[in-house]
């Protein structure tokens, strides 16, 4: 397989309701996509995570257009993982000079995902079957992106589609957080369970104060509870054994490196993001070690359609077969493909066509 051309798409849409976290808010939704074409005429699509900071989309476009894409065009790809590792090694030195190793990894995620899409198409297989021996045909999703104020209409839409787990964002102040938790639990009335994501918003003292409260509500996991400066003290929370701790989207898994950094983290629920910092090849290598360590592997995702499609295919080979799915309105997730993602009985069924399987609209493909 040889790459003969490529292009980058930066898409942006305004949204009526900001998507809030403990550290900031998105007032628009952006997507940066990489499209690679091979000599057989197949088009592979990859996505890079660009939610934060505000300038991330332009930074990613520059990395892809000026660095990675010229490096790829004309190159033979006998092995996706090997090419991803070679690209990382080629650009790591310059990225270290500028302190941009994280953005490099995010750009490389788009590269590797596009290459996996091409690789599956070349084999005339859906991506899940190119990655795994016996993938699931349907992937369960849980509702994410639930922030203040709670979008009750969207909660009800997902309940009606059979979704059973709802992840509430906290870190907006104890009074607001407590009220949102109580109201969400009352609204679900036993029809769904709750997970909590603090987006690194609490001090250790706050987290200790909240543990018993969250446990009393049957919270399934507590995601990234501590501020960055206190994250080294996560084992103290874990030692109380009241709630599983979750995280991993901010752990870097470069191409070609082992998964030890993820596996040996203090998290019980491991949440790498294939579009952000986690090389897809490295995530594949993490499956058996995660099982051996008795840790759950559930991909993180909060982006647009191509990244969601790739994450579904990868999740089909994981034991949980569960994927994070944003409840918020986002045309970049719902309107880029000719066919919608349909949640039925809490699951999304993978298409049987080669590669990602969903068809990009012509205006997106052609720019």
Same structural domain, 167 and 117: no
Same structural domain, 148 and 250: yes
Question: Which of 124, 157, 174 is at the close of a domain?
Answer: 124
Same structural domain, 48 and 165: no
Question: Which of 109, 124, 139 is at the close of a domain?
Answer: 124
Same structural domain, 114 and 150: no
pLDDT, residue 111, reads 98
Tens digit of pLDDT for each residue in 303-357?
999 999 999 999 999 999 999 999 999 999 999 999 999 999 999 999 999 999 9
Same structural domain, 88 and 186: no
Give the integer Cα–Cα distance in Å for 271 and 230: 20
pLDDT, residue 56, reads 98
Same structural domain, 137 and 255: yes
Question: Which of 73, 108, 124 is at the close of a domain?
Answer: 124
CATH code, domain with 199: 3.20.20.120
Give the pairing type, strands 347-349 and 3-21: unpaired
| Contact (Cβ atoms closer than 8 angstroms) between residue 305 and residue 333 | yes
Nearest to 15 by CA among 36, 5, 29: 29
**At a CB cut-off of 8 Å and minimum separation 6, what does 147 contact?**
19, 20, 21, 169, 172
Same structural domain, 173 and 310: yes
Torsion of CA 291, 266, 272, 282, to 10 degrees: -60
pLDDT, residue 366, reads 86
pTM over 0.75: yes
Same structural domain, 206 and 115: no
Same structural domain, 73 and 157: no
Rg (CA), the chain: 20
Domain that holds residue 17: 3-124
CATH code, domain with 107: 3.30.390.10
Give the integer Cα–Cα distance in Å for 317 and 136: 6
Total number of domains constituting the chain: 2
Nearest to 197 by CA among 145, 121, 120, 137: 145
- Confidence grade of residue 301 (pLDDT, cut at 50, 70, 90): very high
Is 98 exposed, middle or buried (CB count within 10 Å of its CB: 0-12, 13-18, 19+)?
exposed
Same structural domain, 312 and 238: yes
pLDDT, residue 367, reads 82
Same structural domain, 178 and 82: no
Same structural domain, 141 and 97: no
| CA-CA-CA-CA torsion sign (9, 14, 19, 22) | positive
**At a CB cut-off of 8 Å and minimum separation 6, what does 188 contact?**
155, 159, 166, 194
Provide φ and ψ at 80, rounded to 5°: -65, -50
Give the integer Cα–Cα distance in Å for 118 and 268: 33
Tens digit of pLDDT for each residue in 52-64?
999 999 999 999 9
**At a CB cut-off of 8 Å and minimum separation 6, what does 331 contact?**
13, 29
């Amino acid at each position: 397989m040889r790459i003969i051309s490529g292009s980058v798409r930066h898409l942006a849409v305004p949204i009526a309701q900001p998507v809030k976290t403990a550290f900031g808010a998105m007032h628009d939704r952006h997507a940066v996509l990489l499209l690679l074409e091979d000599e057989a005429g197949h088009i592979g699509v990859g996505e890079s995570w660009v939610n934060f900071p505000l300038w991330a989309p332009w930074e990613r476009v520059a990395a892809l257009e000026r660095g990675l894409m010229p490096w790829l065009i004309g190159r033979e790809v006998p092995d996706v993982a090997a090419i991803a590792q070679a690209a990382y090694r080629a650009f790591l030195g310059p990225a270290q000079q500028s302190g941009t190793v994280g953005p490099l990894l995010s750009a490389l995620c788009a590269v590797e995902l596009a290459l996996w899409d091409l690789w599956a198409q070349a084999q005339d297989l859906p991506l899940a079957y190119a990655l795994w021996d016996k993938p699931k045909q349907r992937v369960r999703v849980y509702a994410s992106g639930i922030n203040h104020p709670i979008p009750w209409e969207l909660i009800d839409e997902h309940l009606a589609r059979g979704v059973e787990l709802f992840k509430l964002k906290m870190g907006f102040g104890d009074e607001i957080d407590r009220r949102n938790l109580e109201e969400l639990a009352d609204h679900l009335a036993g029809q769904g369970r709750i997970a909590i994501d603090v987006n690194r918003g609490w001090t250790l003292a706050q987290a200790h104060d909240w543990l018993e409260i969250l446990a009393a509500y049957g919270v399934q996991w507590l995601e990234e509870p501590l501020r960055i400066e206190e994250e080294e003290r996560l084992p103290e929370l874990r030692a109380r054994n009241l709630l599983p701790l979750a995280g991993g989207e901010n752990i870097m898994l470069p191409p070609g490196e082992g998964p030890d950094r993820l596996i040996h983290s203090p998290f019980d629920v491991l949440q790498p993001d294939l579009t952000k910092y986690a090389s897809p090849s490295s995530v594949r290598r993490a499956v058996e070690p995660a099982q051996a360590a008795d840790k759950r592997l559930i991909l993180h995702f909060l982006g647009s359609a191509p990244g969601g499609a790739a994450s579904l295919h990868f999740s089909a080979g994981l034991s949980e077969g569960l994927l994070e799915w944003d409840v918020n309105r986002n045309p970049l997730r719902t309107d880029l493909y000719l066919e919608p993602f349909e949640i039925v009985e809490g699951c999304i069924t993978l298409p049987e066509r080669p590669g990602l399987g969903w068809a990009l609209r012509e205006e997106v493909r052609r720019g």
